[in-house]
Amino acid sequence: MRSAGPKGCPGVRNADDICIPHSALRNWKISMGIFLAAFVLFAACSQPEIQPLSFNSAPWRVGESSTYQITAQDGATGTAHFAILPGNAQTNASGWSMQREIEAQGVQERITVELDKEDLSPHASTLTRTSSQGQETEKALYNNGAVDIELASAMSVTTNHHMDVPSDIRLDPTLVQLVRALPLASGYATRLNSFVPASGRLDRITVQVVKAEQITVPAGKFTTWQVELDTGDSKTSAWIGRDAPNPLVKFVDGRTEGTFALAEYKPGQ
């Protein structure tokens, strides 16, 4: 494309036989170097500074309940209900029991997760799903980086599975509620491991505060942190109240694209 310039051209000629002086080439190279350096710096600055995973004291209390209106991508509606229950029935350990019930599109699902009092890691979980196909159940026990799972299908076929998992996993169905206990603030970001017992799916999730935002849902108007939970192939957005007890006001599920909007909230005792 370029050739050394003949006499009378103190530089090089391009494909169009235009003389480009050496000084212009030097300036162009300097400009490109500055542009590339700025681009690299911008890319580095756009990445969140990841903080070690650490939870504050849980903002909820026993007896807390929250009800959500669900709107699916196709416009179908349903309801979801979260509740904080006392203790851990299966493991007899002190902690929280977080229950989630969903009724939508002909399916009823209830999951209860027994959580450690301090770091909110799971001790045990149970799930029951009822549909026109019948009832499925799932029971799981977690212990030092391992999980034992019992699955019973709608055809009454029971299977047992043992899996090695990261010791710091949190369960996917309760994750949007657990985010409430993170030290959310402008610019905050952390990472954690999420697990779905029924499928054995593990995700490394980046949790990042996007912005402060005031939003209105059926339960009223709230000042929130908009938080993004990024698995790498899907992003869930959650809006967490900035004032104690930091309720989960709204979230949009990154995989189903269903929207959950708070309709009623009752704080615990």
For residue 157, give Cα distances in angstroms to 133, 135, 137, 147, 160: 14, 11, 10, 20, 10
Q: Is the peptide bond before 245 cis (omega within 30 degrees of 0)?
A: yes
- pLDDT for position 91: 54
| Cβ atoms < 10 Å from Cβ of 212 | 13
| Cβ atoms < 10 Å from Cβ of 78 | 18
Q: Which of 62, 83, 47 is nearest to 189 (CA)?
A: 47
User: Domain 65-266 maps to which CATH number in 2.60.40, 3.40.50, 2.40.360, 2.50.20?
Assistant: 2.40.360
Average pLDDT, the chain: 87
Question: First vs last Cα of the chain: how many Å apart?
Answer: 77
- For 177-236, write each residue's pLDDT tens digit: 999 999 999 999 999 999 998 888 999 999 999 999 999 999 999 999 999 999 999 999
- pLDDT for position 2: 46
- pLDDT for position 1: 47
The CA distance from 223 to 211, in Å, is 11
The CA distance from 185 to 190, in Å, is 11
- pLDDT for position 252: 97
- In contact, 5 and 18? CB cutoff 8 Å: no
Beta bridge partners of 68: 80, 262
- For 86-123, write each residue's pLDDT tens digit: 876 555 557 899 999 999 989 999 999 999 988 999 99
Question: What percent of the chain clears pLDDT 70, i.e. is strictly above it?
Answer: 80
Amino acid at 194: S
- pLDDT for position 199: 87
Question: pTM to 2 decimals?
Answer: 0.80
- In contact, 88 and 94? CB cutoff 8 Å: yes
